[in-house]
Chains A and B, each alone.
Chain A
Amino acid sequence: MTDTAHGHASSTGISNVKLGMWAFLGSECLLFGGLISTYMLYRGRVTGGPRPSQIFDIPFTSVSSFVLLMSSLTMVLAVSAAHKDDDRKTNLWLTVTALLGATFVGGQVYEFTAFYKEGLGFSTSLFGSSFYTLTGFHGVHVTVGIIMLMSLVGILKRSSVPGKKAEVVEMIGLYWHFVDIVWIIIFTLVYLIPV
């Protein structure tokens, strides 16, 4: 996006936007690091309400995790199509990625509702506060990703994207993969490892 503003190539050979996204994701690692640490400290602290093992539905969450991981695959296909300058396929795969992401978020909404009905509120216990905060932050990240993907589809259709198309698709792809990788860590630590 900004490269057009400057006459010379970048010193590293990587474009500003891509390097900027990498830096941002580095920062995000620490954000999720702090949230995950908080959850790990508090996950066993239940003074009232259900314990983790009583409410987690591992098969359900495994399926929605699988859906999210598949969205990384479709994201790769979108980036590949963008590099080949195939607008139709780029749009197709971006839309599929967004839909898979939306399925995951829908699953999370369902899960939160189910947990709430089983007695785990945000203020029920330290486990509740830290569980909803951690997974909620991740859910917001996925949602922001979906908004970016859908906006990108709209912008590509109007073909008014500033800068190189493939570059922008790739940058949002980086973000999307990062959010997926974080979910693998969260799924393992929160759901799979018993308290």
Chain B
Amino acid sequence: MAIIERPAPTVPAIVTPTTTYGLLKRPVSATGWRSWVFTVDHKKLGIMYGATAMLFFIVGGVEALLIRLQLAAPNGKVLNADLYNQMFTMHATTMVFLFVMPMAAGFANYFVPLQIGARDVAFPRLNAFGFWAFLFGGIFLNLAWFLGGAADGGWFMYAPNSGPVFSPSNGVDFWALGLQITGIASLTGAINLIITVLNMRAPGMSLMKMPIFTWMITVVQFLLLFAIPVITVALFLLSFQRNFGAQFFDVAAGADPLLWQHLFWIFGHPEVYVLILPSFGIVSEVLPVFSRKPLFGYPFVVFSGAAIGFVGWGVWAHHMFASGLGPVSVAVFSLTTMAIAVPTGVKIINWTLTMWSGKLWFTTAMKFSIGLIVLFTVGGLSGVTHAVAPSDTQQTDTYYIVAHFHYVLFGGAVLGIFSGFYYWWPKVFGKMLNEKLGSWNFWLMVIGLNLTFGPMHILGLQGQPRRMYQWTEARAGEGFFNLAFWNLIASIGSFVLAVGILTFLINVLITSRNPQKAPLDPWDARSLEWMTTNPPKEHNFDVVPTVHHLDDFFHQKYEEDAATHTMKQVRTAEEIMAEQERNADKHIHMPSPSYWPIVLAFGLPVITFGVIYSHLISVVGGVIVLFAAYGWALESSTAPDSDFETNTPGTGLDKVASNHD
């Protein structure tokens, strides 16, 4: 559906392609599965990102539960050593690349245009392509399970362990090529969102009036823009070695396996901030709303986010302290790692001071945000212990590391994502998630994650190595710090965590059956995405807003009372909406749906499949890509005016093209 004619809100506009641009007629349906598969609407794509990421979250979660089942008791028999290696490799790969990143991309897709008062993104078809490439890449990665075994080298796939000698199955090939495809998705997504934020802000919205979530997403997209090509190079080197006989990591030929480690972590450390900063953004939206106060020190939160984005490039070698870098490198990276704790600490303090003396409203979204502050701080503190190189050398490859990154990623990134679910659910689906179940959801998850990951600190300091597939009674030790007890607790915790996430899914199911609609502005929110209907119309805003303040929606609702110096409500959200509808723009052109994004994205796994099995298949994939690229290039992103017709009741089909300006 490509045009919104007003006034006639009940009658959908009909688009008939009179001119065929490109190689196929463009799709037109506004209902049914076609309206999703060929859509270029950033909101639909945001939902598709979110739903797909949630499915992968469940896959990665089941993998985690199998790992914990295996380690719950001595001499675990659930998985054999080989399958265990595949399990932890794919658990991490799935959670990082197929859950947290695309889930953040989903939030970004949905809310960045709304928050900056735009009707769309800069490259709608590229945006759709990004989603399909992510989905096909994710499926391709997991295909390896059924074709001889998944990747088994750990998520950072160190050389020479990743070579054909130690990883003979096709798992690593699927892994390297699958990540190339999801990498292409991230790169196109980054370009799209960066240009959207730079170019498509509503009139008056300067960069320092942008909502903080949009700011953090922007920093993340710049990180992706520059980090993805580095892993692309690393993955190419790996694939060339495995599939075409190159020698990049062949020690016998004089190669330096550290090259892989450097390339991987130059990507990998910015990637860590790619995972956490979106959640920082969500929390920075949620805390002010439920504290009934503006965000404390907005510029500090913005600049500390940007600072993390810069300093994040100078800390990668702290992942490699145990590899013998030499004292100078170790000292430098030790110091930069301590330095990056500063901007993070600034954020924690700003969030705390946002709540300070605020009228706190403990909704589920708020609880998850407070949970993030507390648990991310725990993970941050253990992170600082890694910055101290002598102590890190002891902790390397133990469960202490596992404890650390699960506190920052689960306690940080995932709790932030759940906070976003509860906060924005009424905006996206027009219904409120159940708060009572939400409370269960929150407490089960928080208790579960502390039970799971808390004991891992002890296990790690006691010397339990990361990635070992069995432990024995004889070496478990005795007394309070014995491995048996804490492994069991961690395994029990993981199931509590799983029940917590199940509670969320039940909540979603119950909410979807609840006929009750959400109020227009349920949280008395502050930013522009709330200044439209729930869910928003296809064109987002009836009138493109003109922005005067940071938190402009709040300032439209509230004005300062001169006598008492307090904020007084002068307008309700409903009144603002009614005014927008009265002044609604006529003739809004939205980009039209397209076949090409999904066709082009489909060509990619065909090519990579051919790299593994037969180069003939690659040629077929190449032809698909080329065909789609031409179709894409020849099609304009909006169908021409002459294609638009509206169905006016009583008069039949009535051409309106001549009325267009």
Contact = CB atoms under 8 A, between A and B. Distances in A.
B636 A12 contact: no
Contact of A38 (B195, B226, B237): B237
Contact of B630 (A35, A45, A151): A151
A5 B225 contact: no
Interface residues of A, number: 43
B233 interface: yes
Interface in B174-213: 187, 190-192, 194-195, 198-201, 203
B226 A27 contact: yes
A31 B195 contact: no
Contact of A20 (B21, B123, B255, B634): B123
A109 to B, nearest CB: 18
B263 A34 contact: yes
B552 interface: no
B248 interface: yes
Contacts of B120: 5-6
Contacts of A163: 636
Given A12-B199, A19-B195, A162-B635, A5 B124 contact: yes
A4 interface: yes
Given A126-B255, A151-B630, A2 B123 contact: yes
A16 B195 contact: yes
A12 B259 CA distance: 39
Interface in B211-228: 225-228
A125 interface: yes
B244 interface: yes
B191 A23 contact: yes
A54 interface: no
Interface in A112-139: 122-123, 125-126, 128-130, 133
A162 B199 contact: no
Contact of A1 (B225, B230, B237, B636): B636
Contact of A5 (B226, B240, B638): B638
Contact of A162 (B246, B253, B636): B636
Contact of A19 (B199, B244, B630): B199
B634 A19 contact: no
Interface in B65-116: none
B589 interface: yes
A41 interface: yes
Residue with the highest number of chain B CB atoms closer than 10 Å, among A1, A11, A24, A122: A11
Contact of B226 (A1, A30, A42, A47): A30
Given A16-B123, A45-B254, A129-B240, A155 B636 contact: no
A128 B253 CA distance: 11
B592 to A, nearest CB: 9
A26 interface: yes
A38 B618 CA distance: 27
Number of chain B interface residues as a range: 35 or more
A34 B234 contact: yes
B246 A122 contact: yes
B194 A23 contact: yes
Contact of B246 (A19, A47, A129): A129
A155 B253 contact: no
A7 interface: yes
A41 B256 contact: yes
A28 interface: yes
Contacts of A19: 195, 198-199
A130 B254 CA distance: 13
Contact of A4 (B240, B589, B630): B589
Contacts of A16: 122-123, 195, 199-200
B591 A160 contact: no
B201 A4 contact: no
A129 B247 contact: yes
A1 B637 contact: yes
A123 B544 contact: no
25 contacts: A4-B589, A5-B638, A6-B118, A7-B544, A10-B198, A19-B195, A20-B123, A23-B191, A23-B225, A27-B191, A27-B225, A28-B229, A33-B230, A34-B232, A34-B234, A38-B237, A38-B248, A41-B256, A42-B256, A123-B247, A129-B247, A133-B236, A155-B633, A162-B634, A162-B637
Given A7-B585, A11-B200, A35-B233, 9 more contacts: A1-B636, A5-B637, A24-B187, A30-B226, A34-B232, A38-B259, A122-B245, A129-B248, A151-B633
Interface of B: 21, 118-120, 122-124, 187, 190-192, 194-195, 198-201, 203, 225-230, 232-234, 236-237, 240-241, 244-248, 250, 253-256, 259, 263, 544, 585, 588-591, 630, 633-638
Across the A-B interface, give the 10 residue pairs with the lowest CB-CB distance, nearest first: A34-B233, A162-B636, A31-B229, A10-B199, A123-B245, A129-B246, A30-B229, A16-B122, A45-B254, A5-B638
